[in-house]
Amino acid sequence: MVEMRDTYGKALAAYGAENERVVVLDADVSSSTRSRYFGDRFPDRFYNVGITEAGMVDVAVGLALGGLIPFAHTFAFLLALRAAESVRTGVAYADTNVKLVGAYGGLSDSRDGPTHHSLCDLAVMRALPNLTVVVPADGVEGAACVPVLAEHEGPVYLRLSRADLPDLMPSDYRFQIGKGRVIREGKDVSIINCGVLLSRCLAAAERLTSQGISATVVNLPTLKPLDEELLLQLASQGPVVTVEEHTVIGGLGGAVAEFLSVRRPTPMRMVGIHDTFTETGPYEELLDRWGMGVGDIVAACEGAVAG
Amino acid sequence: MYRESLIAELEERARQLRCDVVRMVHDAGSGHPGGSLSAAEIITALYFQRLRLDPADPEWPERDRFILSKGHAAPALYAALARRGFFPVEELCTLRQLDSRLQGHPDRLKTPGVEMTSGALGHGVAIGAGLALAARRKGERWRTYVLLGDGEVQAGVVWEGALIAAKYRLSNLTCILDQNDVQLDGPVHEILALEPLADKWRAFGWAVVEIDGHNLRQILEALDQAAHIHDRPTMVIAHTTKGKGCSFMEGQSAWHGRIPNAEELICALEELGNG
């Protein structure tokens, strides 16, 4: 088990040695986001600007205008909500080359409670034109995306997790923006995952086998732009179930439903948070409590297959 | 020392810029004349004397950067850019029209010479701090200038930017505050008082220079002074009059966003010496 933030932070520091244009900002949570690894190695390229989320995003915009590649870090909910107008105007509308990194996505800061849970960041970021939105599934993907996002010219929102996660991607995994990946082949239903619930999706697929349901499991690390080709292919095979650690309003479920309802109407179910605030508690138990348990994914698949 | 003839030439530029502004907002049927007119001398001093620019190469890497944080003064910025040769003067009358390169507020992707998109108030100081950090990081000598409104500095993010610029002692960042004491709903000192403003900026770690924002010599000398301060960013507090140059607009919050009708346009242009 590894923490994605840890592999991400190490990857960012390693990439910093290769690319001098990379600069890093944090809003006083660099020990939590792990941007500190970069800061320890490259102190003259690291700006801890204190608890000034909107100001930090603006400073990042200025650094990007000046020809550098800023990675700006804080908790996901603060980037998406407190700094939202800076993100909309200076990053998305002005189309500046800023990489926004939201740590502690979803319920992963579980015991700090609902103030720190980030359950609508993807909806906010996905609604902004020009932004690429990326949600890695494990530590391998969290590290693999760093050079790709740095070398992609344009604004990015990257959502990280605090959770301990199993490595699911092969060590030679190559991340590509806008590309999903079939992790397990099936034929009756497709489980589409965006984020760190992939191991739960795989466990659900396993459980479904004993009920005679064969499930495809797909990992979709880029929420925007969607891998439309893959979605159309999955929809041609049968119903789909989306799985995300986020409100189903405007996140993966919303995105897939918006696309398929127009291009290829398909029976679907959405696993995620259903329009509610959460509570403090252990991470895995919170996921189960709020509808993201393996049983919930299984039930959603059964419902989707039954029509 | 600036020659009298240069000052006279710049004063003429500022007069012409005001004429452009009132014509533009009249033609557009919308826009913000008051805050454009109060900034006429400041923008003139920057674009016709202080900023190192190349209109033939708007992306020249060594150019000075200017951010119009009070983006609603876009007509004044566009007039300066056109008169400086970034795009044809004839284009000014397309302000705020569909398909125009001259958006209601500055858009860096559409208008040659516009360094940064603005309009949502409050962001210029922190974005300017980022630019100044980039110049320092890259060892480049260009400077960053930001023009703010006074109502604008009620926004909290301005002070986030102020703290950050002071932390990094960004002496290559100069901000200018167009203190006309009028905002959309009324006088700044009534809506949400800012004074003592110079003390506030000093307390935040900035050098402060206070000037008459309609006096071109004072503006140029303040900008020179800022360039010789090497341990902190500078805020030039420029005392101005909203709607300056059109007596019926001066100091009136109604003219923050009101548009001169045909009669008022003639009146304004006559007063500005350009019938």
Does any CB of chain B come closer than 8 Å to the CB of residue A55?
yes
Segment (H or E) for B5 = helix B4-28
DSSP one-letter code for A144: H
- Tens-digit pLDDT string for chain A (307 aa): 999 999 999 999 999 999 999 999 999 999 999 999 999 999 999 999 999 999 999 999 999 999 999 999 999 999 999 999 999 999 999 999 999 999 999 999 999 999 999 999 999 999 999 999 999 999 999 999 999 999 999 999 999 999 999 999 998 999 999 999 999 999 999 999 999 999 999 999 999 999 999 999 999 999 999 999 999 999 999 999 999 999 999 999 999 999 999 999 999 999 999 999 999 999 999 999 999 999 999 999 999 999 8
Alpha carbons B184 and B167: distance in angstroms, whole number? 32
Structure confidence at residue A273 (pLDDT): 98
Strands of B150-200, DSSP E:
173-179, 182-183, 186-187
Please report the DSSP string for B242-260 in residue order: TTTT-TTTTT-GGGGS---
A53 is catalytic: yes
Q: Spell A44-75 as b/e; 16+ CB within 10 A means b.
A: ebbbbbeebbbbbbbbbbbbbbbebbbbbbbb
Quick one: angle between helices A139-151 and A4-18, nearest 10?
Answer: 30
Query: Mean per-residue pLDDT for B58-82?
Result: 98
Q: Could you count the other beta carbons within 10 Å of the beta carbon of residue B138?
A: 15
Segment (H or E) for B51 = none
Q: Which residue of A has its CA nearest to B167?
A: A49
Mean residue pLDDT across chain B: 97
- Closest Cβ–Cβ partner in B108, B119, B128 for A62: B128
Before A155, cis peptide (omega within 30)? no
3-state DSSP assignment of residue A247: strand
Percentage, residues of chain B above pLDDT 70: 100
Alpha helices in A188-265 (DSSP H): 198-209, 228-237, 252-263
pLDDT band at B275 (very low <50, low <70, confident <90, very high): very low
Structure confidence at residue A281 (pLDDT): 97
Token pair belonging to B121: 């108030």
Token pair belonging to A88: 């909309």
Q: Report CA-CA distances (Å) from A169 to A34, A103, A136, A196, B215.
A: 21, 20, 10, 12, 66
Residue A217 in contact with residue A94, Cβ under 8 Å? no
Contacts of A256 (CB under 8 A, 6+ apart): A192, A226, A231, A240, A242, A268
Alpha carbons A85 and A7: distance in angstroms, whole number? 30
Structure confidence at residue B256 (pLDDT): 87
Nearest residue to B186 (alpha-carbon basis) of B34, B30, B22: B34
Nearest residue to B234 (alpha-carbon basis) of B111, B113, B143, B112: B143
Does any CB of chain B come closer than 8 Å to the CB of residue A67?
yes
Strands of chain B, DSSP E:
65-68, 144-149, 173-179, 182-183, 186-187, 207-212, 234-239
In the predicted structure, residue B205 carries a pLDDT above the cut 60:
yes
Does any CB of chain A come closer than 8 Å to the CB of residue B137?
yes
Q: Is the dihedral angle over the CA atoms B46, B52, B54, B58 positive or is it negative?
A: negative
Percentage, residues of chain B above pLDDT 90: 97
- Do residue A59 and residue B130 have CB atoms under 8 angstroms apart? yes
Does any CB of chain B come closer than 8 Å to the CB of residue A153?
no
pLDDT single digits (tens) B162-181: 999 999 999 999 999 999 99
Query: Mean per-residue pLDDT for B225-234?
Result: 98
Alpha carbons B34 and B264: distance in angstroms, whole number? 14
A57 to chain B, closest Cα gap in Å? 8
- Closest Cβ–Cβ partner in A44, A62, A95 for B131: A62
DSSP one-letter code for A89: I
Structure confidence at residue A35 (pLDDT): 98
Alpha helices in A87-244 (DSSP H): 121-126, 139-151, 198-209, 228-237
Alpha carbons B92 and B83: distance in angstroms, whole number? 10
Structure confidence at residue A29 (pLDDT): 98
Residue in this structure with the two tokens 């086998």, named with its chain if needed: A209
Query: Mean per-residue pLDDT for B132-160?
Result: 98
Helices H / strands E in chain A, number of each: 13, 14
Chain B residue numbers touching A67 (CB-CB < 8 A)? 61, 134, 138
Alpha carbons B138 and A217: distance in angstroms, whole number? 46
Structure confidence at residue A307 (pLDDT): 82
3-state DSSP assignment of residue A200: helix
Annotated catalytic residue within A3, A18, A20, A53: A53
Segment (H or E) for A67 = none
Structure confidence at residue B20 (pLDDT): 97
Alpha carbons B24 and B170: distance in angstroms, whole number? 36
Alpha carbons B238 and A298: distance in angstroms, whole number? 66
